[in-house]
Amino acid sequence: MKEIKNNTDLRKMICKTMIDVRSGSCDTAVASEVNNAAGKIVQTVKLDMEYSRQRKETPVIEFMGE
């Protein structure tokens, strides 16, 4: 699997995992771990955004893209 550089890559990876589960080529336990990790990534982005908001700054979050 290629590196996840931004939210679009993360979304594609999650969708591919769902397709793989449906086709039977991915175990549901693995899919659950992928989902868990993705959720944690999203939470860190939210935390970065909230921190910037509290400091009245414009967040610069590479993961969110341009």
pLDDT single digits (tens) 45-63: 999 999 999 999 988 888 8
Phi and psi at 13, nearest 5°, equal -65, -40
Which DSSP state fits 13? H
Say if residues 38 and 45 touch (Cβ distance below 8 Å).
no
Q: What is the value of pTM for the model shown?
A: 0.77
Residues in the chain: 66
Tell me the per-residue pLDDT of 7-49, one tens digit each, with 9 for 90 and over.
899 999 999 999 999 999 999 999 999 999 999 999 999 999 9
